Amino acid sequence: MLLAIGAIIAGLVLLVWSADRFVEGAAATAKHLGMPSLLIGMVIIGFGTSAPELAVSAMAAADGNPGLALGNGYGSNITNIALIVGLTAVIAPIAVHSQVIRKELPLLLALTAIAGVQLLDGQLTRLDGWVLLGVFTAVMGWSIYQGIKGKGDTLVGDTDAELIAHPMPLKVALIWLLVGLVLLIVSSRMLVWGAVTIAQSLGVSDLIIGLTIVAIGTSLPELASALAAVKKNEHDLILGNIVGSGIFNTLAVVGLAAAIEPLTVDPEVLYRDWTLMAALTAGLLLMTLGLTGKNRLISRFDGALLLLVYVSYTGYLASTIIR
């Protein structure tokens, strides 16, 4: 048990560090190759902060633990919205300006609905996984189109500010890109082994471990980037990371896991985890549209409400472990 706990801690630390190096290298490489700033912000950075979830879920599915992969994908979305957006808004209310984000959130809600339909028969087949990956490919194509058209979006300025603040030669960027990718694989294997070992020792499902310990750990890059963006008053970058990460988790993370190893889905995943994920996404959409307050602002009250939801949900999951 102690060795497993050590593997989780070391795996999480290395996972977060390698993901940060990976996203910096990827963003700098994309900038050198002439990729539009908006596309870097919505796709590259969104992918980079979701790289831990993708690596862990793929490794878990390949090792025959798809429940851990599903819990990681859904749990990360819940953590991103309820904990990260909630905590960020409590620290400083989040003003919403980006037109693209207000287009991306309805898309995320629609994708969440597709995921729910797939859960109705109590299983995620390889076909379901490939459908999610196919939709993911289409969404990325749409994002590329938006990136080319959206030169005047406020998210462009936020992303440019990030890239200017951390200049990187192309050779260095490629090195960090490769090193980050290799370490992502190594650290995700450590984390999956530790999580599965603890789940077996405690007699709980790997789904619960994925929804809690692993989801929180793999969401640390989103939390770090959100807190950094708060200091710089880059509000749209915060939501851009969360929405981009949500799309990756719903489609790529869960889709890749199901394509690797089909899984039987317990009923509570639909009525408990998916329902909360969908409700949080819908609530975030209402907040960004200004329907819960004035001036399209995610207020401190909104943030406190999100945090209360997260604490209640996590407490409920913890109670199932204790029982």
**CA-based nearest residue to 84, from 276, 215, 209, 233:** 215
> What pLDDT does residue 129 have?
94
Residues 33, 253, 267, CA angle at the centre, nearest 5°? 160
Give the residue, 235 or 163, on which the prediction is more confident. Answer: 235
Contacts of 53 by beta carbon, 8 Å cutoff, 6+ apart: 72, 73, 76, 218, 219, 245, 248, 249, 253
For the segment 26-68, what is each residue's pLDDT rounded down to a tens digit?
Answer: 777 776 766 665 566 656 665 666 777 888 888 888 888 888 8
* Higher-confidence position of 81 and 5: 81
Mean pLDDT of the residues in the chain: 81
Residues forming a β-bridge with 124:
263
d(CA 176, CA 170): 10
Beta bridge partners of 94: 298
Task: For CA atoms 239, 217, 52, 176, give the dihedral sign.
Answer: positive
Do the Cβ atoms of 98 and 235 come closer than 8 Å? no
Q: Reply yes or no on whether the pLDDT at 93 is more than 70.
A: yes
E-assigned strands of the chain?
94-95, 123-124, 263-264, 297-298
262 Cβ neighbours under 8 A, 6+ residues apart: 66, 123, 124, 125, 126, 128, 129
Query: How does pLDDT run across 114-148, given as a tens digit for each residue?
Result: 999 999 998 999 999 999 999 999 988 877 676 66
What global pTM score does this model have?
0.81
